[in-house]
Copies of this chain bind each other. A is one copy, B any other.
Amino acid sequence: MKPREKRDPLPLEDAKSRLRRILETAAQLIHEHGYEKASMQQIAEACQLTKAGLYYYIRSKEHLLADIMNYGMDVFEEQVLSKVLPIVDPVERLEAAMERNVRLVTEGRNRAITVILHEHDTLTGQARAQINARKKRYVRFLESSFTEAMRDGRIRPGDPKVAAFAFLGMVNWIYKWYRPDGQLSADRIAREMRQLFFGGLRVRPASNREAAERSST
């Protein structure tokens, strides 16, 4: 792809997929160097555009960051939230959310997710408020699922807000330590975390019976 200067209109799908590629490339650079250090010049070059060409797609560096985060939230909502919202059982819903969220963070192909997690305090003004509202939607989804599961006696009682943030911390912190070439696979991490978090949290009348049977023999 050559530097693109002319303003001839692209078909809508081409324009969309080009913008997506720009956001993914920029996210990779911001992930590597941090938002402050990654320059628009550098990002333009990595996208094989001139700086003017980049500004054809993006209004400013702060808009770029907001676009990356909104794109990351789109991916997150498509791959995690929308898939688990229809699950009726609150514990199954939460377990599926954990599994899918772990996969999204470990996959790492999409650095927009890492940028959302790391640059949580970089945006200002309206763009910040808008991204925070999208993040809050997830926190509230977790909180209300925990509340529902506790109310139904499906998990041990506790503070649903702390449970929601504990869930998020466990899962989101992965971007800080996970190495795709390390010994732990994404599958393994997803399974272990689910078991660790929910294994003892679930209230299982069945296992009380089992315990009773074991101790009476």
Contacts and interface: CB of A to CB of B under 8 A. Distances in A.
Interface of A: 34-37, 120-122, 156, 158-159, 161-163, 165-166, 168-174, 176-177, 184, 188-189, 192-193, 195-197, 199-202, 208-209, 211-212, 214-216
Contacts of A35: 34
Nearest to A177: B165
A189 to B, nearest CB: 6
B171 A159 contact: no
A202 to B, nearest CB: 8
A172 B172 CA distance: 11
A98 to B, nearest CB: 11
A209 B213 CA distance: 10
Contacts of A36: 34, 36-37
Nearest to A34: B36
